[in-house]
Amino acid sequence: MPLYETVLIARNDVTQQQVEQIADDIGTGLQTDGGAVKKREYWGLRGLAYRIKKNRKGHYMLLGLDAAPGFVTEMERKLGLNEDVLRFMTIRIEEFDEAPSAILSRKSDDRERGFRGPKPAGRFESGRRRGFDDREEFRARDGFAGEEFRPAPEE
């Protein structure tokens, strides 16, 4: 059977358990049809690039399916009817990548960074404190006024 990857986005109002239940329903339907869920990743609650049905965030889930094309058509029809699913996309692939997806690997990189030391001072808080007269134009004017004007010596 062909291999597919499906990414679905569920509303942010639902819980993670409800998103897992949607994936379980797909898995049980797939097993009765003779296929299998080969890969399953929950990517978490993430911000959307734009509002979808008045939602700014959504629960992302990736499913790797070994399924017949007829099942994928029926699954997409059911996902389209489900009010908790905002968007979904299914693509056909040649083989599954055993490594975690780019989304999960990037999350683990963020966790491994750890403590980097104290935060550097901000742009306006670094260096010495300057008063009103310390601005550049006042320093230039005062520096010029401090020198006395001396005419050139006559020869």
Distance CA(22)–CA(7), nearest Å, equals 12
Cβ contacts of 139 within 8 Å, gap of 6 or more: none
* Helix, coil or strand: residue 37: strand
Phi-psi region of 127 (alpha: psi -120 to 50; beta: other; left: phi over 0): left
Q: Which helix (H) or strand (E) holds 61?
A: strand 55-66
* Helix, coil or strand: residue 44: strand
pLDDT range class, residue 104, cuts 50, 70, 90: confident
- Whether 10 contacts 42, CB under 8 Å: no
Q: What is the pLDDT of residue 88?
A: 95
Q: What is the pLDDT of residue 1?
A: 82
**Which CATH entry fits the domain spanning 3-95: 3.30.70.60, 3.40.50.300, 3.40.50.2000, 3.40.50.1860?**
3.30.70.60
Tell me the pLDDT tens digit for each residue of 23-40.
999 999 999 988 899 999
Q: How many CB atoms are located within 10 Å of the residue 86 CB? A: 17
Q: Give the start-to-end residue ranges of the domains of the chain.
A: 3-95
Tell me the pLDDT tens digit for each residue of 41-90.
999 899 999 999 999 999 999 999 999 999 999 999 999 999 999 999 99
Tokens of 19: 């998103």
Q: What is the pLDDT of residue 101?
A: 82
Tell me the pLDDT tens digit for each residue of 114-150.
666 666 666 665 555 555 555 555 555 555 555 555 6
